[in-house]
Structure 1
Amino acid sequence: MTLHLKSTSLPIAEDAEDEALEKNRVPAQIEFRRITKMYGAVAAVKDLSLVVHRGEFFTILGPSGSGKTTALMLLAGFVAPTEGDILIGGNSVGAVPSYRRDQGIVFQSYALFPHLTVRRNLEFPLEMRGMKAAERAARVDRMLERVHLKDFGGRMPSQLSGGQQQRVALARALIADPPLLLLDEPLGALDRNLRDQMQVEMKSLHKEFGITTICVTHDQEEALTLSDRIVVMRDGQIEQTDAPEALYDRPATCFVANFLGEANILENPGFEVESASPFGTVAMLRPERICVAARAAPKRADADQRQFVTGIVEDMIYAGPLRKYHVRAGNSVLIVREHVAAGQQVFRPGDEVRLDWLRSDVRFVTA
């Protein structure tokens, strides 16, 4: 059964204006206008301006202390900006308390009510909106089936696995059909396999409901997998905003290149980089773009489009489907990553190898 909540309007309005909003609910467009948040003399967010489009899955990515969580808390209304304004659907929400912003929120800790069953956890936001008991029950039934927990409604949160608790948290955030969904490190408490499963589930839910979604994470793979666009933050400011593939393939700075995956920064590498670096930039090459072979192996058919260097293997790391080499070439130690395949030659520390890459795969980033 597929759940389409948008076909059902909730009788939850407290006045005529709220009722009109309920009947015309659409995914929200979000706008940060020169937002600064100070904690004493420290700026957690500095002059932040960005737009999140309606129906978009937008991820705020960055290391600890980058300002990503503060940005989400500002949007949620849990903290107030020192300067600037936030607009949701074209309206300023600076004076609107968090409980009036009509948003679903999922926290890393799930924040489920431990004394309520799964069913009662899902009913709670609908009850607070004044929905009648019969309609609440029908909607909860549909949502439980949608998140594959049809037989778990009578259980307490403590009786669920981490992945099941995360599904309940997502279901509770979605059940009232908010125009805006906020996710704070939503998969951070799960192990690798569960994270992978939940990434698939979250993509499916976003595609089905079409809710504008803002996700905060420090997990690069999660951001690349889920997002329509990503903003990378550093020290409270935006470093770069782009679609996942563009952000990974064409990072603007060394910070983005190194934070979003691994990168070989070819600054004074000890060998000539055939593509000339524009002023103020350095060459960057992703590890998977480099091919490794024995020094005497025949060259590829497109050798005229490639750059070749020789080096000595310093380390080989086996990681299941991938094999990673650290190869000293000139003044640099290059990271090389290749997919493991049957019959593939394996190199050991001390082996002399030849590395090559397409000159067109070199990118230029600012420091």
Structure 2
Amino acid sequence: MNLHLGNVTQFSSKETALNENPVAAQIEFRHVTKMYARIAAVKGVSLTVGQGEFVTILGPSGSGKTTALMLLAGFVAPSNGDILISGKSVAAVPSYRRDQGIVFQNYALFPHLTVRRNLEFPLEMRGMKAPDRVKRVDRMLERVRLAEFGDRMPSQLSGGQQQRVALARALIADPPILLLDEPLGALDRNLREQMQGEIKSLHREFGKTTICVTHDQEEALTLSDRIVVMRAGQIEQTDTPEALYDRPTTRFVATFLGEANILEIRDFKVEADAAQPSGTVAVVRPERVCIAAPGAPKRADADLRQSVTGKVDDMIYAGPLRKYQVRVGNSMVIVREHVASGQQTFKPGEEVCLGWLRSDVRFVKS
């Protein structure tokens, strides 16, 4: 929860708008390791997050992403290395003395307090006068579209409304850093998509340096300026969402961030007929693969494409998308295409021709 019990910045007597003078902080991990007995939950992690940047730490269970967030929050201390905020070491600073807002997966709202009192609490702990607290809470409730819900208890709100209260409480004291721990994990798909838009809007407005932890790839791609992919306690790759998706450097990143075809088809060509580097596998994304009947006319760019034939193993209809699984030799190639009017569809057992631009093939470390 967003508790600030000591060594905190006091508010001036003149209450200002939350986003009038936005404050953000740079974060730096320097060779940070966290050991639990003989197990390294985080191992030698170095990372710099710029002021006002939105960075998502993404990875499967056990990858160390949550431990990294807990280290930054001050709930656990590093075994080795250092963590700096705005150039100052905070490795030995307890969590309640770190000026940051935190949103937990289960919201962690005070169940015995109204929405208004939940938002007032961090302001009260910082010594803000009652009239100024009321004004700021009113503005924040208006901002998150909950002006009519201030007197309700958390149990009287929907999941999406509780999440907005949690975000509002984390932001209301104007901390330079916002930490999000699986913030949308408890919501259904439609609410998650709505809240993704809300979080992006709040980040644009308040400009807080934000670290988000999630295992949801779509959420990471949608929200982030950069994504940090973790595996077994270490950083596998860090880049912008587009670069990470289009240019993964390892097989793990390619297959974890979205779907990927690992091409084990012999004698296919790539851009400029480049030789496949040793220790790599060839990857192409499913949406880059086109599917057609064997006798279909050749495309205008046929000389730039790789073509193979196969047999449809399965077809899955998913609303705007149609997904094919096509067996080519001993390999299974996934094709994902947008559904369009008059589009030819293929049933399991049918022969098809697959094609992709050779420039869409990426070689990644196996």
For the aligned pair, the TM-score class normalised by the smaller chain equals over 0.9
Give the % identical residues.
79
TM-score (ref. length: structure 1)? 0.93
Please tell me the residue identity of whatever aligns with 2:297. Answer: P
- Equivalent position of 1:338 in the other structure: 337
State whether residues 270 and 329 of structure 1, in contact with CA within 8 Å, keep that contact through their aligned partners in structure 2.
no
Secondary structure of 1:336's aligned partner: strand
- Equivalent position of 2:242 in the other structure: 245
Partners of 1:216 and 1:343 in 2: how far apart? 42
State whether residues 270 and 330 of structure 1, in contact with CA within 8 Å, keep that contact through their aligned partners in structure 2.
no
Secondary structure of 2:341's aligned partner: coil
Partners of 2:67 and 2:41 in 1: how far apart? 7
How far 1:25 sits from its partner (Å)? Answer: 7.4
- Equivalent position of 2:152 in the other structure: 155
How far 1:334 sits from its partner (Å)? Answer: 0.1
Q: Pairwise mapping of residues 224-303 of structure 1 onto structure 2 (< 5 A)?
A: 224-267=221-264, 269-274=265-270, 275=273, 276-303=275-302
- Equivalent position of 1:366 in the other structure: 365
Partners of 1:229 and 1:25 in 2: how far apart? 21
Structure 1 position 173 matched with structure 2 position 188: no
How far 1:281 sits from its partner (Å)? Answer: 1.3
**Do the aligned partners of residues 204 and 214 (structure 1) sit closer, same or farther apart at CA in structure 2, a change above 3 Å counting?**
same
State whether residues 226 and 239 of structure 2, in contact with CA within 8 Å, keep that contact through their aligned partners in structure 1.
yes
Aligned-residue Cα RMSD (Å) equals 1.4
Partners of 2:269 and 2:281 in 1: how far apart? 10
Secondary structure of 2:168's aligned partner: helix
State whether residues 268 and 306 of structure 2, in contact with CA within 8 Å, keep that contact through their aligned partners in structure 1.
no
Which consecutive unaligned segments of at least 5 residues does structure 2 have?
Answer: 1-8, 13-19
**Do the aligned partners of residues 329 and 176 (structure 1) sit closer, same or farther apart at CA in structure 2, a change above 3 Å counting?**
same
Partners of 1:311 and 1:233 in 2: how far apart? 35
How far 1:331 sits from its partner (Å)? Answer: 2.1
The Cα offsets for residues 254-291 of structure 1, whole Å up to 9 and x where unpaired, read as: 00000000000113x24534443122211100000000
Secondary structure of 1:310's aligned partner: strand
Structure 1 position 89 matched with structure 2 position 86: yes
Secondary structure of 2:148's aligned partner: coil
TM-score (ref. length: structure 2)? 0.93
- Equivalent position of 2:314 in the other structure: 315
The Cα offsets for residues 324-357 of structure 1, whole Å up to 9 and x where unpaired, read as: 0000112211000000000000100011100011
The Cα offsets for residues 298-332 of structure 1, whole Å up to 9 and x where unpaired, read as: 01111111111111000000011000000011221
Please tell me the residue identity of whatever aligns with 1:343. Answer: G
The Cα offsets for residues 122-144 of structure 1, whole Å up to 9 and x where unpaired, read as: 00000000000100000000000
**Do the aligned partners of residues 150 and 24 (structure 1) sit closer, same or farther apart at CA in structure 2, a change above 3 Å counting?**
closer
State whether residues 23 and 207 of structure 2, in contact with CA within 8 Å, keep that contact through their aligned partners in structure 1.
no
State whether residues 74 and 80 of structure 1, in contact with CA within 8 Å, keep that contact through their aligned partners in structure 2.
yes
State whether residues 270 and 332 of structure 1, in contact with CA within 8 Å, keep that contact through their aligned partners in structure 2.
no
- Equivalent position of 1:57 in the other structure: 54
State whether residues 23 and 174 of structure 2, in contact with CA within 8 Å, keep that contact through their aligned partners in structure 1.
no
Structure 1 position 70 matched with structure 2 position 72: no
Structure 1 position 194 matched with structure 2 position 191: yes
Give the aligned length: 348
Please tell me the residue identity of whatever aligns with 1:170. Answer: L
How far 1:96 sits from its partner (Å)? Answer: 1.1
**Do the aligned partners of residues 271 and 311 (structure 1) sit closer, same or farther apart at CA in structure 2, a change above 3 Å counting?**
farther
The Cα offsets for residues 222-243 of structure 1, whole Å up to 9 and x where unpaired, read as: 0000000000000000000000
Partners of 2:320 and 2:147 in 1: how far apart? 36
Partners of 1:241 and 1:11 in 2: how far apart? 36
Please tell me the residue identity of whatever aligns with 2:44. Answer: D
State whether residues 271 and 330 of structure 1, in contact with CA within 8 Å, keep that contact through their aligned partners in structure 2.
no
